[in-house]
Structure 1
Amino acid sequence: MKTVVLPFYVKLACVLLSILLLGYLAILGHTILAPLILGFLCSVLLLPLANLLERNFQMPRSVSSLLSSIALVILIGAVFTLLGTQLSSLANDWPAFKQQLLKSAADLQFWISDTFHVNNKAQIDYINQAASKSLSTGTTLLSKTLMSLSSLFLLLLFSFLYTFFILFHRRLIVRFLVNSFKENHSPVVYEIVYQIQYIIKRYVVGLFLQMLIVTILACLAFYFIGVKYSFLLGLITGIFNIIPYVGIFTALVITVLITFATSTATNVLFVVIALVVIHAVDGNYIMPKIVGSKVQINTLIALIGLVLGEMLWGITGMFLSIPIIAIMKVVFDRVPELKPWGMLLGDESSEEGSYMKIPKRTRKQKIENLLD
């Protein structure tokens, strides 16, 4: 039988069309895919706890999966409770914030009048005109905010459900993946499955360690500078720092505004310097040593993935883009036809086959954990 060889431009057109189709399907399936992938990441992280409850305490799979999922909810709830407690104390000082902001606005108004020779009445008229335009869109803004909160609640709810069911049916899922390929490919499928589990677990743990270290550094810096809400602002900095590239700048804006309303301009300058130094330490040491060593993806691909993730799924897509690319690299490295793409996703400084450096004992334990 004669084999048909397609021209290069036909292959390229098929690849581009497939990428566009996948992107379109990802946009349409955002409501299902985003919590499903997030639940998958959480289930991989909770798998050791579920195995511990099953083996050491003889719990049924359903009970161990449920308790593991609830433990994650309690941990996340504790973080949000701590953050809410700090925000409530911040809200109690709102009158002082308002007075400080009014004073700063008056000083700014005087500076504009003295520098640009724009009288106070013209400035007030311009502000009133801008405020009236903002009020006309206030209802739309409020409705969008409520929809965002409801979407976040649904995302967390379905992520919890997916986490539980993936943990509960993990043996069935693995066997489905193995049986989807020929029998001689079973070792490769098992290899890919436990490598994905290994990498995701280390990546998520590294991400939490990074958040903890950045939070501690920011809290200490703000405390010694003399910022009033040093713990709250340090916690916000650590949490927002999880969002690559843009998170630290968002935390910088929030921290500068709160510091400006509660302290002097000198402290604001010190806060900016402290955050720049923390970001430099995080980008050059913490991120490469703790997180980057877990997922060896080059900076260009990571940046493209973040942009595409934000375009498709917003902040959720930015958070999920790095682990998704890491999973793709694991698959590409194990499929001979896709190895060049795995090289493209990887880092030049990383050694070839670095994902394969998993102890044999750990490898055997992981396969047993997936099938038990």
Structure 2
Amino acid sequence: MQNSNELKLANVAYWMIVIAGTIGVLMYFQNFLKVFCISFLIWYIVKKLRDLVSKIKIGKYSLPQWLVTIISTVAVFLAIYSIAKIIGSNFQSLAQNFPQYSDNISKALLALGNVTGVENLDQSFLSLLAEYKSSIVGYAGSFAGIVGQFIIILIYVVFLLLEETLFQEKIQKVLNTTTAGGNIYKTVNAVANLFDDYLSVKIFTSFLTGLLSYFALLIIGIELPALWAFIIFLFNFIPSVGSVVATLFPALFGLIQYGEGSVALTVLIAVGAIQILVGNVLDPRLMGSRLNISPLVVLLSLTLWGFLWGVVGMILSVPITATLIIIFGQFDNTRPLAILLSKNGEIHFGKDTSE
């Protein structure tokens, strides 16, 4: 009995050390890992575009694979560079125009103070305005820093493209060396399919939400609609809170730009309706229940990965958690944890226990 208790304590200590070590590694190497994750996402987009371009035929002839890869890679990086330049210039324009927005902010806060009976509300927020302006300039600088890492990301993507075929062959050879190779292969395929489905659907729905929001903001008359559309696109990858935050940004800016609450309310209704239509109607129909993650686990995962990696961690929190559920479901010791993390306690992909 004593040996059994000691074994349980040893297992608990072992897992605590593993978890603490993993978190330490993720935090210590976060700069490298975040850049690599961004490179991996860009590689994935290049791969999907390459699949589309490869279907193009000139008469009876198809384009060679190397040419298709070059065309896809150049197109994706040109698009990213153009977007980065546009968003960076929008941030700078936003920072430069803050003095003219401050009058509208004072007007709106003065009206709010008269309604609520709070005195000097506008003066209290004017001091925060200078800090907010500094933050905007800082965000513009950090965005420029991302552009400065453009070359590093490009190198990673190029090497991912070069290693793509060889890596698949290496994995297959490794799997052939173990009796559990078939089960590992099933696990890898399940993770790859889930990741592919999630990114395909999320990129499409987020792009559609950003595009529709761009035209809605353009019609309403909100300045810098491309910036807010990009923020909406990006934040829609963050589960639960992302769409809410993305909707509040242009609404608050509408209040700042015009100094009228009616404009902010119009933006909230218009962009919120688009978010509900795409997020609650279209997204579930396309994605279905393939993720199989508990809503509470989604929120906890969002908090954990946001703490570790910031916005990049929030964006990746859902596919990482779904991947862990699939992997945990393959082993007897971790299968209970996979059941707890799942949405309904059903592990749809797991080792055949009948063997």
Q: Same fold (TM over 0.5)?
A: yes
CA gap 1:201/1:154 in 2 versus in 1, 3 angstroms: farther
Q: Name 1:362's counterpart in structure 2.
A: none
Q: Name 1:105's counterpart in structure 2.
A: 106
CA drift at 1:66? 4.8
Say whether 1:287 aligns with 2:280.
no
Please say if residues 214 and 238 of structure 1, whose CA atoms lie closer than 8 Å, have aligned partners that are also in contact: yes
Aligned residue for 1:352, secondary structure, equals coil
**One-letter amino acid of the structure 1 residue matched with residue 283 of structure 2:** M
Q: Name 2:326's counterpart in structure 1.
A: 330
Please say if residues 88 and 140 of structure 2, whose CA atoms lie closer than 8 Å, have aligned partners that are also in contact: no
Pairs within 5 Å for 1:341-360 = 341-348=337-344, 352-353=348-349
What is the TM-score with the length of structure 2 in the denominator? 0.74
What is the TM-score with the length of structure 1 in the denominator? 0.72
CA gap 1:155/1:310 in 2 versus in 1, 3 angstroms: farther
Q: Name 1:58's counterpart in structure 2.
A: 64
Q: Which of 309, 318, 340 does residue 336 from structure 2 map onto? A: 340
Cα-to-partner distance string for 1:302-348 (whole Å, 9 max, x where unaligned): 22211111111111111122222232233233445543333333322
Say whether 1:166 aligns with 2:160.
yes
| Paired positions, count | 341
CA gap 1:315/1:222 in 2 versus in 1, 3 angstroms: same
CA gap 1:48/1:209 in 2 versus in 1, 3 angstroms: closer
Q: Name 2:196's counterpart in structure 1.
A: 201
Please say if residues 43 and 167 of structure 1, whose CA atoms lie closer than 8 Å, have aligned partners that are also in contact: yes
Q: Which has the higher contact order (CA 8 A, sep 6+)?
A: 1
CA distance in 2, matches of 1:174, 1:185: 17
CA distance in 1, matches of 2:129, 2:250: 28
CA drift at 1:184? 2.2
CA drift at 1:36? 2.2
**One-letter amino acid of the structure 1 residue matched with residue 157 of structure 2:** T
**One-letter amino acid of the structure 2 residue matched with residue 270 of structure 1:** T
CA distance in 2, matches of 1:293, 1:194: 18
Q: Name 2:26's counterpart in structure 1.
A: 26
Please say if residues 251 and 263 of structure 2, whose CA atoms lie closer than 8 Å, have aligned partners that are also in contact: no
Aligned residue for 1:183, secondary structure, equals coil
Q: Name 2:73's counterpart in structure 1.
A: 69
CA distance in 1, matches of 2:21, 2:108: 55
CA drift at 1:247? 2.9
Q: Give aligned-pair identity as a percent.
A: 18
CA distance in 1, matches of 2:277, 2:292: 19
Cα-to-partner distance string for 1:228-275 (whole Å, 9 max, x where unaligned): 449534454333322333433433333123322237432322222334
Say whether 1:265 aligns with 2:278.
no
CA distance in 1, matches of 2:83, 2:286: 22
CA distance in 2, matches of 1:309, 1:115: 39
CA distance in 1, matches of 2:304, 2:91: 36
Deviates more, 1:187-196 or 1:145-154: 145-154
Cα-to-partner distance string for 1:12-31 (whole Å, 9 max, x where unaligned): 22112211110001101112
Structure 2 spans left out of the alignment, 5+ residues = 56-60
CA drift at 1:73? 1.4
**One-letter amino acid of the structure 1 residue matched with residue 189 of structure 2:** Y
**One-letter amino acid of the structure 2 residue matched with residue 171 of structure 1:** T
Q: Name 1:15's counterpart in structure 2.
A: 15
Q: Name 2:40's counterpart in structure 1.
A: 40
Please say if residues 218 and 275 of structure 1, whose CA atoms lie closer than 8 Å, have aligned partners that are also in contact: yes
CA distance in 2, matches of 1:74, 1:230: 21
CA drift at 1:207? 1.0
**One-letter amino acid of the structure 1 residue matched with residue 203 of structure 2:** F
CA gap 1:155/1:355 in 2 versus in 1, 3 angstroms: farther
CA gap 1:350/1:167 in 2 versus in 1, 3 angstroms: farther
Cα-to-partner distance string for 1:124-160 (whole Å, 9 max, x where unaligned): 6x678x479959x96xx69965773465236554333
CA gap 1:343/1:177 in 2 versus in 1, 3 angstroms: farther
Please say if residues 69 and 160 of structure 1, whose CA atoms lie closer than 8 Å, have aligned partners that are also in contact: no
Q: Which of 238, 246, 252 does residue 251 from structure 1 map onto? A: 246
